[in-house]
Structure 1
C-alpha cells in the first residue's frame, strides 16, 4: 500500500477549513467608496427570482399569428433592449419556439419598494419603434438631437428583413461579418434619396430602436435597389444581434401577455432562510450520525463533507472575479442539501467496507486500502447516475445558449423553457455536488484517513468499527 505522510491530514484539513471560511466570507478590500473583490463569497451569490422576488412573465403573439423563428428572435431582442433601457440588467429571457412564447424573468432591485411590475410588463410588450435617421447627433442623455432628431429616413414598416451573414475579405481572405437589409417598396425611394445625398459627404445613417441608437454605419455609395449591407468590425454574434434588433422593429404583431406572477422579496428571503436552516440542521445531524456509527472514518467524513459544501458554495458564488456568479434558486438550495446526502453516502459505503475488513482480520492499513478500493465502484456508479440526471435536467430545461442545451439539443427539442430558472439551478447544484463528492468524499477523505491512521493513538481497531 502506498503510504501517506503524517502531515497530509493536517494539510488537507487546513485547506478545507480555509476553503470553507473563504467560500462563505470572500476576500475583498475597500478603499474609500471603491470595493475590490478578489475572491467572491456567499454575499456575492445572485439569488433567483423565487428568493429575491421579482416578475415572471410570458409573452406570445396575438391569437392566430404563427410567428417564425426569426420573428421570435426579433421579439426577444426588443425585450432585451428594453430591459437594458429600464436599467434591469440582471434578467433572463428565453424563447420557446415550439409554443411561440418568450419567457422573461427579472428580479426586484435591492431595496426596491415602489416598482410597478404591470407598467414594466406593458412597456416590454409594446411594438418596437425602429427608425433610421440622418447623422448620429445625441444630447447629454443619449437621445437624438439636431439633424438626427428632425430627419427620419425610414421606419420599421419600411424594412422587410435583416439577415446576418458574411463575405470574404479579398485582402485577408478571412470572413467579414455583415448585416444585409432588404427594404419594402415604401422604403426604397426614401433610402435611395438619402444614400445618394449622404454618400457625397460620407455621412452616416444611425439606426435607433425606441430612443436607443444601436448602430451608425457610414454611407459609402448610393443604394437604389432597396438592398443594403452594414459592415464593420463585427463578430458573428454581434452581426446576428444587430439583425435581430432591426427585425424586432419590423414585427407585424404586438406581443401579448399570456400570464405573469410576482413574488414579494420578503416571502422569497423567508423561504431561503428556512432552506438554509434546514441545510445546517441536516449537516449537523449527519455529522453526529456518521461519527457515532463509524467513529474515526465518520469524523474524517465530516471534514470532507464540509469541504464538499464549501466547494458547492464556491461554484455558485463564482469564487474568482472572472467567473460569473450563478443564479441560485430554492430548488438549487435543495440540490445542495441533496448532494450533502449523496456525499455522506459515499463515505458511509467506504466506512462500512473498512469495518468489514477489520472484522475479517485485516490490518488497519490493509482495511483502509481495501475499503476504499472495493467501495469505489459503487460510489462511481451512484455519482455517475446523479451526474447524468443533472445533465439531463440542465440540457432539457436550461437556457438555449447553455453548454448542455447545445450538446443535448437533438434529444430535448420537445421541451419548453418555462421552468428553466428553477430546474436548471437544481441540476447545476446536483452536478457540482457529484463532482465535489469525488474530490472531497473520495480523494480528500482517503488521504486524511490514511494519514491519521499512521499516528499511534489512532491505530486501534475499534476506532474503525472493530471491537474494543
Structure 2
C-alpha cells in the first residue's frame, strides 16, 4: 500500500465526528410554518413492538375449515381495513400460506391510556360485515349516514367472488384494471333492481362501516356479473377484490396464540440493553487502549465510526436504507457486530506486534500486519454475512428483498419471527459490512497516517520494543 499523508488521520476523525453529530441531531429545515426533517436523527428511530409495547397475535381459520390461498388473502385484507379504521397504521400483517395462519403485530398508540387487547383481538378476527348501499353519504364519524345508512342493496352473503381483471369495460375504449363481481342467486335480482334505478348514481361498498369504494352505476346489471372500474392500478384492483372477498368469507378467524408487551416493560428492556452496550464498548475501549496502545486508539475511533454508521442506516439517514424498525434482537445484532469489529482490529494489532518482534521496520510491520490479517478477517466476515442473509431471507417479511431472493430455498420457514430475527439479521449484516469499511479500510488509513507523525515513530507504541 502506498504511503498515506499525515493529515488523513485527522480528516477521518473529523468526518466521523461530523457524521456522529448529524446522526444524533439530524437536520431540520423550517420554511414559514412548515417544518421538514431533511436528515433524520436518532430520535427518528422506529422502535419495535418489543420495545414500544404492543400486541403480537396469530390467527387461523376455525378447526375443520381448510381455507384457500385466496381466502387467506381476503382475511388479511379484513385485518388491514380494521387496523386502519382504528387509526393503527404502524402495523405488520403477514400471511403464512404454508401453515394457514396470519401473523399480526401492532404497537400501542403514543397516547394510549386504556386498552383492552382481548377485545381488540376479537374485533380483528370477527367475521367481516360487507354491505353495498345506495349513495355515498358519509357522516362526521366516517360511517354511512342518511339514505346510505338505511337503504341496503347487497350483503357479503350475496357475493360469490370478486376478481381483479384487466379488460375493456362497456364504456371504455382501452383495457383497464378493474374488479369483476359475481353474485349468488340471492343477490342477482336485488342488484338488477338497484342498478336499473340508480344509473348515474353511486353504490357504495362498506366493510364494517368503513367505506372502501363508491363506484357509479353505468348501466343495469341483470346477469349477476358486474365490473367495477375507475383508473385502478393492478395493486389497487387486487386490494379491492380481496376486501370484497373478505366480506364474503363464511368464517371468522380464530386466535391461535397471542402475547402483549407493556410499554413500561419494553422501555425498561431497551434501557438495559443500551446500558449493556455502552458498558461493553467502554470496557472494550479500555482493554484495546491498554493492550495495543496506538493501534488500540485507532481501533476505538474506527469502532465509534462503525456504530455511528449503523445507527444512521437504521434511522433512514441514507436514502438507500429506509427507516428500519429496531427491536431488542436488533440491538443485540449491533453489539455483536461491534464484537466482530474488535476482533478485526485485534488480529491486525497482533500481526503488527509479530512483525515488529521479527525485526521489521515500523512502516514495513504496519504494511505486513494489515496484509497478513486481511484474509482471516475477510473469511470470518463473509461467513457472518452469509448467516445474516439467510436469517433475513428465511424469516423476513414476504415482500422484503432477501425473502424474495431466497424464498425458493427456505420456503419451509414461516414468517412468525420476522419482526425479531429479521431485525437481528439486518443489523448484523449492516454491522459486518461496515466492519470491513471501518475496521479494515479506515483503520489502515488512520494507522498508516498517524505512524508518519514524528511522535508516533516509537515501536513501543505498537507493542514492539523501544
Give the TM-score range, shorter chain: over 0.9
Q: Which residue of 2 aligns with 1:377?
A: 375
Q: Which residue of 1 aligns with 2:115?
A: 115
Question: Any residues of structure 2 matched to 1:231-310 within 5 Å, and which?
Answer: 231-310=229-308
Q: Which residue of 2 aligns with 1:132?
A: 132
Q: Which residue of 2 aligns with 1:189?
A: 189
Q: 2:334 touches 2:428 (CA, 8 Å); kept in 1?
A: yes
Question: Any residues of structure 2 matched to 1:448-459 within 5 Å, and which?
Answer: 448-459=446-457
Q: Which residue of 2 aligns with 1:153?
A: 153
Distance apart, 1:361 and its partner CA: 3.0
Q: Which residue of 2 aligns with 1:317?
A: 315
Q: Which residue of 2 aligns with 1:101?
A: 101
Q: 2:93 touches 2:102 (CA, 8 Å); kept in 1?
A: yes
Moved more, 386-395 or 24-33: 24-33
Give the SS at the match of 1:233.
Answer: strand
Q: Which runs of 5+ in 2 are unaligned?
A: none
Change (3 A) 1:157 1:405: same
Change (3 A) 1:10 1:250: same
Moved more, 86-95 or 107-116: 107-116
Query: Aligned partners of 1:357 and 1:235: how far apart in 2?
Result: 65
Query: Aligned partners of 2:309 and 2:14: how far apart in 1?
Result: 14
Query: Aligned partners of 1:405 and 1:165: how far apart in 2?
Result: 27
Moved more, 454-463 or 215-224: 215-224
Give the SS at the match of 1:219.
Answer: coil
Q: Which residue of 2 aligns with 1:334?
A: 332
Q: Which runs of 5+ in 1 are unaligned?
A: none
Distance apart, 1:33 and its partner CA: 8.3
Distance apart, 1:111 and its partner CA: 4.5
Moved more, 140-149 or 263-272: 140-149
Give the SS at the match of 1:104.
Answer: strand
Distance apart, 1:173 and its partner CA: 11
User: 1:77-117: CA deviations, max 9, x gaps?
Assistant: 11111111111111111112122111111111224231111
Query: Aligned partners of 1:361 and 1:28: how far apart in 2?
Result: 55
Give the SS at the match of 2:198.
Answer: helix
Give the SS at the match of 1:401.
Answer: coil
Give the SS at the match of 1:153.
Answer: strand
Q: 1:27 touches 1:38 (CA, 8 Å); kept in 2?
A: yes
Q: 2:161 touches 2:183 (CA, 8 Å); kept in 1?
A: yes
Give the SS at the match of 1:140.
Answer: coil
Q: 1:38 touches 1:320 (CA, 8 Å); kept in 2?
A: no
Distance apart, 1:198 and its partner CA: 3.0
Question: Any residues of structure 2 matched to 1:354-393 within 5 Å, and which?
Answer: 354-393=352-391
Moved more, 106-115 or 300-309: 106-115
Kindly indicate whether residue 463 of structure 2 is the aligned counterpart of residue 465 of structure 1.
yes
TM-score (norm 2): 0.94
Give the SS at the match of 1:238.
Answer: helix
Distance apart, 1:130 and its partner CA: 0.9
Distance apart, 1:383 and its partner CA: 1.3
Change (3 A) 1:444 1:174: farther
Distance apart, 1:254 and its partner CA: 0.7
Question: Among residues 203, 219, 227, which one is paired with 2:201 in the alignment?
Answer: 203
Give the SS at the match of 1:232.
Answer: strand
Q: Which residue of 2 aligns with 1:4?
A: 4
Query: Aligned partners of 2:48 and 2:30: how far apart in 1?
Result: 27
Q: 2:314 touches 2:321 (CA, 8 Å); kept in 1?
A: no
Q: 2:169 touches 2:227 (CA, 8 Å); kept in 1?
A: no
Give the SS at the match of 2:304.
Answer: helix
Query: Aligned partners of 1:227 and 1:173: how far apart in 2?
Result: 20
TM-score (norm 1): 0.94
Query: Aligned partners of 1:31 and 1:322: how far apart in 2?
Result: 26
Give the SS at the match of 1:294.
Answer: helix
Q: 1:37 touches 1:321 (CA, 8 Å); kept in 2?
A: no
Query: Aligned partners of 2:196 and 2:204: how far apart in 1?
Result: 16
Distance apart, 1:324 and its partner CA: 4.0
Q: Which residue of 1 aligns with 2:72?
A: 72
Distance apart, 1:332 and its partner CA: 0.9
